[in-house]
Structure 1
Amino acid sequence: MATVTSTTTAATTAATTATTTGTEPIAPAWAARLAYAWNNSPSRAARVARRCWDGRGQALPLVRSDSTSGEVSIAYAGLPVGEINLLQLLEHQRDAVAGPTAARTRSTVRWRDLEAGRWPDADLVVVGAEAHRTARLPSDRALLAPFRVHLVVDVAADPQEQQQRISKRERWEFRRNRKRSGWTLEEDPSPAALEFFYHRMHVPTMRLRHGERGRSEQLSVARDAVLRHGTLFFVRQGDQRVAGALCHRSDAGTLTTRLLGVLDGDPAHYDSGAFKAVYHLLLEWAGTHGVSQVDLFGTEALLSKGIFQWKRKFAPRVVLPPNHFATKRMYLRVVNDTPAVRDFLVANPLLAQAGAGFEPRYFTDARRPARLQVSAQCPGLPEPRIVDLDAWLGAS
């Protein structure tokens, strides 16, 4: 058993390392498939094994993040993947309120201290962990949100009906840009096409769009795990491939976008709408090839995140991920009630856990109106709940 655990851990590390340089250690195909399954398998056995692995231990790694202004310090405790996903996103959203991240300091914290309300020294404490563990944390001045969510489009049998579900503005822009550029969709799952897509599209796009924050699958995982059970699409403009998407196909038939990119990461392909065209053309392809669902893949539960706001225009349902992330939660605790913390909360409405579903939560007080222009409108989501910060935080 120890040998199996060691192998799985090594595979997990390889699969979750950000790939922005295009270089990677050579890994055999079996290791790539194992790593991908460890992170993405929807099977009950894999999810139970991952839940047990991620729920072990009594000490948690702790990262404190401070901004240049010294306001809105964030302490993240929990699963290391949360430092890559949750903490980086919160730092990015904090930039507009308190300035860029100045420093991170590392230590550890014990579960029993968190459960007793002995908080790390920070304005906000965020814990990323299995749901059964976050459920034991104090509930005052705190909320629970999903660790990640997926945005899934139900494909209509009628192409016209599918088009009508997309936001009016988005439809109009795509039609205009398609007429200008003459885009077509090409399917090519060949090894040579994957090499071209990965090195000329995906890696440059991740590097230029996200820099050090970029994270992705390694080429061996893309080749031996994703493409092996999926396919590769390109958006063509004349005789040139200008954008692409590597997609996974589940046993149930769901098509999931996994890796994307534009040629050489060139911002001109964003300006022309070619990147957005990937999603429009994939939905058209799905409607003519018997695909009932297109999973636009995962994102964090902050409504202010740009990718959530854009994908929302395709009328997706918000669901828990089909993998181990389904049982993980983000716990957010306000330790210090300051003007800058309130500014941050109001600027970043989120999807909170509400029973088996989600509830959009918007924050407000007498000086700060709820940021309702950051829409949460998606099929199946309830009306937003407006949270008065004075009442929630116990202010006088």
Structure 2
Amino acid sequence: MSDLYVLEVLGENTEGEEISFSYCGIQDGLTYIQPFIQNQLLDSNITVKRRYIIQTFELTTYLAENKDDLIVISTNKEQVYKHFPEDCFIMPFRIHQIVDTSKGIEKVLSSMSKREVKRHSKQKEKYKLDFYTTNEDKHFFDFYNRMHKPTMKSRYDGLARSVEINKAYEEIFKKGLLFIITENGVPVSGSVSQIDEENKVLNARLIGVLNGDDRYRYIGAQNHVYHSILEWACRDHRIDQVDFQGCEPFLTKGTFQYKKRFATEAILPPNHLNDKRLLVKANFNKQGIKDFLFNNPVMLVDKDDKLGVGYFYDVREPRLDIPYHSPGFLFERMIRME
């Protein structure tokens, strides 16, 4: 048996419609899944109805008795399919985005969009962007305190998600290296990566720009981090793959759309979340639920662990203007909300 954490909330969307939303699942979902959905779904007068814990054997009863407008259950694949009602759909808990670097940088660049390659080249020349790698402790702590930490605060504020500094030092930096991006020779952004030599993977982990200043994103210094990692990995015989890490399984996630420009392939997470799934039950009689799903197409996964995407429609045509096209997605579903 394992604990499933339940958080039931009630609030109103931007149209003033009252909507109830329940998350029930592994604790990781309270950090990744529940906040994203709640922020997209509810706008005001948000209250917590109940917070409690159930066991996996109670899921059937929980699903049958829960009448909330949106119910999201996260647990392992076996349990999800055991409790899978016909009126639900199944999503991966997260995805990762990887790049094959084994065939060299020219192959990687040819897989990227011409627009991305051209934009990067112009920014690199205009702002004199360059990079170097380092294993010096001082450089790591400077990066963490002056770049990574301010960037996370600026980007996520109270929901800042990161790795504690000493853990990052021991488990990431000391097992990898730090990339520093310079503008005219001055460090302005960076990223610390862990190297998995056994599997020939570079795990790109923490990133940041100096003081969290948006200017460095504007001039392409953050973007240059990704290009630099790929360039370096393609030259290093220990590395066949770069893992740019994960995101929640919604096509509207900015990190997903951003990393897609680097010719990434979507995969299930190569970690403890690999077999975790989201079971979603939606009340299509609520306009707010329909609007949320219509505007936030999802990533799907089938019984054979193949990834796909799901677009929702009613009298409105599905939001095909929100793209997903990248290697790794093998099917597409149009889901009528009725």
- CA deviation profile, 1:254-273 (whole Å, cap 9, x unmatched): 01111100000001111111
Deviation at 1:370, TM superposition (A): 0.7
Specify whether residues 337 and 259 from structure 1 end up closer, same or farther in structure 2 by C-alpha distance, changes over 3 A only.
same
Specify whether residues 317 and 65 from structure 1 end up closer, same or farther in structure 2 by C-alpha distance, changes over 3 A only.
farther
Q: Which residue of 2 aligns with 1:102?
A: 46
Is the partner of 1:139 in helix, strand or coil? Answer: coil
| Aligned counterpart for 2:75 among listed residues 129, 139, 142 | 129
Q: Which residue of 2 aligns with 1:32?
A: none
Q: What number of residue pairs does the alignment pair up?
A: 331
Q: Quick check: which one's strand share is greater?
A: 2
In structure 2, what is the Cα distance between the partners aligned to 1:140 and 1:160?
A: 47
In structure 2, what is the Cα distance between the partners aligned to 1:101 and 1:241?
A: 44
Q: Give matches, 1:2-21, under 5 Å.
A: none
Q: Which residue of 2 aligns with 1:270?
A: 217
Q: Which residue of 2 aligns with 1:373?
A: 321
In structure 2, what is the Cα distance between the partners aligned to 1:235 and 1:187?
A: 9
Deviation at 1:100, TM superposition (A): 5.0
Structure 2: runs of 5 or more not aligned: none
Specify whether residues 64 and 207 from structure 1 end up closer, same or farther in structure 2 by C-alpha distance, changes over 3 A only.
same
Q: Which residue of 1 aligns with 2:117?
A: 171
- 1:159 matched to 2:105? The reply is yes
| Aligned counterpart for 1:66 among listed residues 11, 31, 34 | 11
Q: Report if aligned partners of 1:255, 1:294 keep a CA contact under 8 Å in 2.
A: yes
Amino acid at match of 1:259: L
Deviation at 1:292, TM superposition (A): 1.3
Q: Which residue of 1 aligns with 2:309?
A: 360
Q: Give matches, 1:295-374, under 5 Å.
A: 295-335=243-283, 337-354=285-302, 355-365=304-314, 367-374=315-322
Q: Which residue of 1 aligns with 2:189?
A: 243
Deviation at 1:318, TM superposition (A): 1.2
Is the partner of 2:324 in helix, strand or coil? Answer: coil
Q: Which moved more, 1:313-322 or 1:255-264?
A: 313-322
Structure 1: runs of 5 or more not aligned: 1-54, 391-396
Deviation at 1:383, TM superposition (A): 4.2
What is the TM-score of this pair, normalised by structure 1? 0.79
Specify whether residues 292 and 334 from structure 1 end up closer, same or farther in structure 2 by C-alpha distance, changes over 3 A only.
same
| Aligned counterpart for 2:140 among listed residues 191, 194, 205 | 194
Is the partner of 1:374 in helix, strand or coil? Answer: coil
Amino acid at match of 2:335: V
Deviation at 1:303, TM superposition (A): 1.0
Specify whether residues 343 and 212 from structure 1 end up closer, same or farther in structure 2 by C-alpha distance, changes over 3 A only.
same
- CA deviation profile, 1:239-284 (whole Å, cap 9, x unmatched): 3111110101112120111110000000111111111111011111
Deviation at 1:141, TM superposition (A): 2.0
Q: Which residue of 2 aligns with 1:35?
A: none
Q: Report if aligned partners of 2:190, 2:225 keep a CA contact under 8 Å in 1.
A: yes
Identity percentage of aligned residues: 27
In structure 2, what is the Cα distance between the partners aligned to 1:104 and 1:70?
A: 17
Q: Which residue of 2 aligns with 1:217?
A: 163
In structure 2, what is the Cα distance between the partners aligned to 1:99 and 1:378?
A: 32
In structure 1, what is the Cα distance between the partners aligned to 2:221 and 2:86?
A: 46
